[in-house]
Amino acid sequence: MGTLVAVLLLIIAMALRGLAVALKREGGLWLAAVARLGAWIALASSIWWTTAASAPWSTFHFPLLIQSLVLAIWAIDGVLSWRFRPVVIVSVADLISLALIAVGAFGAPPGRVSSSCLQSLPLWVGQWLLFIIGSGAAIVAGGNVLTSTVDAALAGRLRQLPRSSRTASSVMAREANQLTLVALGGGLILGLGWAWYQGDPRLLWMTSAWLLAAMAFTALSLPRGGERWFTWLTVVAAAVALSGLWAAPGLHP
């Protein structure tokens, strides 16, 4: 129920933001922000209720893992949006969130919770919290570079968005990419100490995502074509991080 409420509130927030941009009403943006906050609270409550009532939180429980990822995406995107105030027509990160929730509700099996003793270790919990935050940041970064591209095309026709707004989306993508580096890197450091015991192939996926995010960050220093490389590498890093969260044992990158 909480997940359905979160989806409805997010759709309302997207509609309010679109109307606010089209009508140039500042109040609509604040209402959209309130609706997004309500969606975040509803989804967090759904996760808490599920873990308290029926299933302990686990990275092997795919619906809970996807909901946690979406929660991280909304939190990171919300903080960056509050900081940089982009005025966008279409948020790709929101569209990705809706798709992920649909996959979690209809397309992903609960999975099998294994090694419950292992999952009680603080290192394991900290590692996967960082992996979720890092993967969410990667998706926010990829979503914002795509948002900047899509809005640039739409603004050329509608002439609604100032150039400064598209610049804000690009800056948000860079900030989110840096958070990807920090969070995934921290999770990998925690995992190195006992990877010999865990034997989880998803570490390889997260390592690949971290390297791609690092390459994207380094590409910004290129004298020519740096922005183009940053865009493509950021999108690929988001896809690899998402694949890493869903990777089944034995599925190596």
pLDDT per residue as tens digits for the range 199-252: 666 777 888 889 899 888 888 877 778 888 888 999 999 998 888 887 655 555
pLDDT of residue 104: 77
pTM given for the model: 0.80
C-alpha 165/C-alpha 81 separation (Å) is 11
pLDDT per residue as tens digits for the range 148-184: 777 666 665 555 555 555 678 888 988 998 899 889 8
pLDDT of residue 96: 92
**Alpha helix ranges (H) inside the chain:** 2-23, 26-53, 62-84, 92-102, 116-119, 122-158, 163-192, 195-198, 202-219, 226-246
Q: Burial, 117: exposed, middle or buried (Cβ in 10 Å; 0-12, 13-18, 19+)?
A: exposed
pLDDT of residue 17: 84
Q: What would the mean pLDDT of 119-132 be, rounded to a whole number? A: 78
pLDDT of residue 6: 92
Q: How confident is the model at residue 185 (pLDDT cuts 50, 70, 90)?
A: confident
pLDDT of residue 154: 64
